Structure 1
């Protein structure tokens, strides 16, 4: 764009540039030039200094206040070579001066050099705004495998930047269940979704005066620096305001997802937002005249860790005590709790942010405020994240294959097993339905997510699980056919149960006879493992699988303890088990033994007889407290003759419970005998 009040010079410049293939817009005064620049967002502006009404310095000053034009290359045209004027222009953000009169070559050299430099600066800024492909793949692989996520700012970044220590409020947000979304959409669909959402997500941040400093796949990081003009109290409040605005955007974006991808069985679109206030190091990443920066430091990583906690807490927006204190009484908050975040030794108090008491939540959806570099970064991040997500999924598939199959008709294979479909996924392993090559029998193939070189304890526990089950042969224990490693991937091939688990059987109160029969089978399984020196430590309905003939089999020895060796010695204070079925000693983190499994069996038996669990609570702490203190609940009158078994299994002190699973079987026989005698007495005499 050329802004020049002299018609001859304006026309000459326009003709020279058009002859070289440049599209050129012109304006004959400063005010018209500002309007035209805002309408056209040119790649470069050539502007005269001495013009009526508004001179070139005033034009530049106004343009640099506009976010969309703040970084646009700006070249002054002047017949005066005054050092004071040059300093004034450079201080306002001018990129170069072109002295009148100038030749065609001088003009083209200046224009070409400025555009080239701007292209390099924008490319560098885009690269700073988005995470590398390697970092994105690592992030998505960690989501798939349950491994720890990497830090937001990597160590190599810390080593290569110089910055200024300052205080700021940092906001971090990302999409919940994004791994599931990426599994069910194609790469172009993932890119479209991310681009559409993140473009909207930038708006409340910008509207509240924040700076988007990084896109990390489905995540977005923003900083609200504390300055003299924007003090701590205002910036903390604005960051919380932006976080609530992001939540508002996500609520509305849910409809976009549903409309764009109907019948795709996607999880409900939701986000989590973490906000923390503290010291950061601010580092410039833009070129001369650009005000873009990034931030590093512990405050950044705390904000990211808070975001990770939002799903578990059930709070869309979580803010630290430091942020709440800085923002003051304008913040409406709900519950609070203390957390020890990963990588930190001291607890931090966090709050659920529920609203603002004095402001209306901002969720501006326009995109006019986004710079060209920001829009480029959005697109690059969306495409990179889509490819990284699919790359992580391919890596996972490759991890369970003994070689990469390129033909679509060939199923994925590991060892001697062809994988058919995924049955389920836990924190450390994935279970697939597979077919054995030798006889085409369907089996369940359990694959460890970790590889050799990862956490040795996880791998050791997985190998130990296979070894423990393999040495036991019992009707009511899952059968292991094979276990080993293929392509650095640990696996266990075991019995497949198409009917599912006891969870599907216990949909309500069962007939007493059926409940006692299932209890006897479960006790028989526990008796066998206890005689072999094994404590299961996770006895629950979903770990009793159901065969086609209705017989149940105990499975999932992932957290079992082998008393015959010290390799699984439990650390003091470390709890295993599922909360609804956890024994008092597990709830307290004290030593467990065979009687801990019997307590959990008592909980299952009560649930089979009544159709409900013995203890319900609004919080995990309250539930665990009931396991420790509340007496075993009473059964309904129609099954009251089983109360003795419930009390013997669910006694709070291990010494007061049945001493063994065999004692439980004796108690079941007693109830059966009593019932048979009672039935005989009531039958009519022949």
Structure 2
């Protein structure tokens, strides 16, 4: 009977799991944390591992990463147990090589079904793949056989060769590729069909790898890791350029393979067959792993991790090929790129610049033809990403119900909150959908603001969903005048965002103390710079007000609170037609009329704040909200006194009732600020006279 290892830190759950599995006549061993789980795996040699995610000493992710680096457990089926259906955690687990997630609480039948189906599928697939992988292509089969037996391959395609020095350091380019939605496909295919699919797929995608001198380091289920190293004959056709050409070739091969897929399998209602590719250039190390005589040579290092995580980003971004700026820069100006983003990758302290690769030209005199990803393929991947997002959002409701009920009980009982990695000090605020706590980061003692999902059971589910969306929006931004997010995710009990804590208070406090016109203009410029950045990323804030503009100790103003922000477009908008969000004192006329907010709505709100900074009072007031909103819609643009006449041009441009007559974007606001500033400076110089 199959052997199963259970890793769970809760003794009662661990015992229950062991008893349920032994009741099905499995041979079972157990461990209390990830570190012990690794040791038990080495001595027990399980056929399948069931593990909790959050554990002391070493969590489930760390244990899985360590086991997958050991050739003995590279393909061992691995099931995670988790209390939350958290997309980012699931993505991290899948990137590390997890095979399935089982949500707590689960029934005995659910556990047994998950275990038995994974064992049957992987045992059968492993047997089939061992016999049939690339069986239909004689040339590829010969290269595989030569590399596996240690013979010299005539062509560069090979699994990691066993010759070479252990611990060899090199600079190379790493490529990761995998099939979008493979888990969904595999759930609807038999083991034989999975083997047939992967056999045909790898035959297709190996061709561009071979042509461009790639070396296959590892096949991981439907994924493939390829290393491109420097060659004596490279010249300008360096390893980064060859990797990009191979990555584009893989995408085109997968697109063509989609026709084969449709003809062989009737899986209607699923996204188009597609592949995502991540590429990064940097240092890596070749190491041997495994017992003497059965070593497996593989590559490890930060470059491998970055390439893997960039490939994971293709699912969300909808880009066919995501390459780091390091790779694109080394590949040279033949590479065509689309969008560029600063991406926060898990496990890295600083964001990495990544680019959408859309094509590559041919060098003069080269035999290789130019490659360009067709618009149809890019559109299919974008739709694929949107379908993934919709599926993840559909799973939020149950997740949020679990989170809010646990948080409600903790707050009602007065229990201190426990968030791994943080020491919660005190509650400092509460909003419509969240509680904010002052906390210390345990690693360095730095103070952070910990925003935790609100616990009221009656809270509108759409507002709860916005909490999740807020963290995604902020993660896209890296700008001096926009709040910094340090961490986000789920604990076993809460959803949270850890962000910058501001000791300087808010602009609301500063206005109360009075500002000079020059100070007001300086703060306006900083706020406009923040809006320019978020608008460039396609985000509308929708609640620009002094209380959401915070001040760092050095006086820098920072735009914060993206709780009701949204992207310009997209079917995922959670705002119903005819409803408005924002604060009545700062709401735009179009929002007041129930029309969608745009970037010009944010500019209107900023104009109201600028007037307030100059005059130390708001331009519009009323005895009721209806009266106040009516003034935003109908009252003329407020006039400044003669002493402040230089600034009227800014108010006229930002507070026009018709958005079409307003300054159209934050860059235009900054341009007018520059003109006003220059005009005032020149007049001051003239008044001083020569000298």
TM-score normalised according to structure 2 size:
0.40
Bigger RCO of structures 1 and 2 (CA < 8 A, at least 6 apart):
1
Query: Which of 1 and 2 has greater Rg?
Result: 1
TM-score normalised according to structure 1 size:
0.40
